[in-house]
Amino acid sequence: MPSSPERARLVGTGEIGTEFGIDPDLVSKYYADRDTTGFPEVAGTQGRKRLWEHGAVADWFALVGTAEIAAEFGVSTETVTHWYKHRDATGFPESVGSRGRGKARLWEHDAVAAWYAGQDETRLQQAGRAAGGDPDELLNATQAAHLLGYKNANQITTYLRDRPGYFPDPDVTEELGTPERPWIRRQWRRSTITAWAADRPGSGRRRGSAPPAPALPEVSPEGDPDELLTVDQAAALLGFKSATSFSSSLSQGNLPLLKETDGILPGARGRARQAWSRHRILEQAAQRSGRGRRTSSPPR
């Protein structure tokens, strides 16, 4: 593809996250797992910040794999494989490449979307349900991960730990084991997982809209200056529209006074959450607005 200033423009994780509707941390994970994901190599650096050519990143996002097609169109990965395997009969588009060590097939998203638009949606959805199984079937984390195209349950565990409210709560939660060795079994209905996959942030970028971010809490600047506040509370005090935009700005180094946390608080399901003191957040707010002078230097 011909080079242009726009394609050659260098972008970091924050800019990529904003444009394509995903968490900047997920961009870093795509890069860390590039042997599997095929994410582009770094084209440059700015300090410790990695930078990529915008064109290469845009090309990567324009290609979709089996799991992404299944998620967007609400069918199982088995159904997508069936469409491709029998493409002489179904007319499903040819693969245009592969990604990662496993050589997972890739398709142009626009070609798949155009093909799907010309099909009988009712028939396709019925085929998807037949291949995908009972929508009321209960799946554990490993089975849900497999349905979503993940290697194992680690991605779901990460969602539950680091992004409360992003991944759906289990439909069934059971406390099992013994008092000495308790454990919790979490299960989701197949329909819960497929509904989330179809509407999750990231897939929505190709449909022209993303689900609205959870509303931030109302947080007063008054109160104990040493009280620890979590990400969503800090985002609210600083005037961000969402916790994700706060995290993106933080990762880009735009909030130097909050580079280091002041503590850790228990979050949903007992998971640890980053926290900052109210007075530090307010100092950062004053610096952002220009109303106050910085009282401390950002960590180097």
Tokens of 287: 């610096």
Per-residue model confidence (pLDDT) at position 291: 42
**121 and 181 assigned to the same domain:** no
Residue range(s) defining the domain that contains residue 20:
5-62
Contact 193, 139 (CB under 8 A): yes
Torsion angles phi and psi, residue 29, rounded to 5: -70, -40
User: Are 264 and 280 within one domain?
Assistant: yes
pLDDT in tens, the chain (300 residues): 456 787 888 999 988 888 776 778 888 888 887 776 778 899 999 998 999 998 888 888 778 888 778 767 767 777 788 888 888 878 889 988 776 666 778 888 888 888 887 776 555 554 444 445 567 778 888 888 777 767 677 878 888 887 777 888 888 888 877 777 878 888 888 778 877 776 555 444 443 333 444 567 888 888 888 888 888 888 888 888 777 667 767 766 788 898 888 887 654 433 456 788 999 999 998 887 764 333 333 333
CB 31 within 8 A of CB 50: yes
Q: 123 and 73 in one domain?
A: yes
Among the listed residues 40, 73, 43, 45, the one whose alpha carbon sits nearest the alpha carbon of residue 59 = 40
Domain boundary among 206, 231, 252: 206
* Shared domain check, 247 and 182: no
Q: Is the dihedral of CA 68, 252, 28, 31 positive or negative?
A: positive
Rounded CA separation 105/95 (Å): 6
What is the count of structural domains for the chain?
4
CA–CA distance, 201 with 214 (Å, rounded to integer): 12
Q: Extract the tokens encoding 116.
A: 């799907």
48 lies in the same domain as 74 = no
Do 181 and 253 reside in the same domain of the chain? no
Domain final residue pick, 21, 39, 62:
62
CATH of the domain at 19: 1.10.10
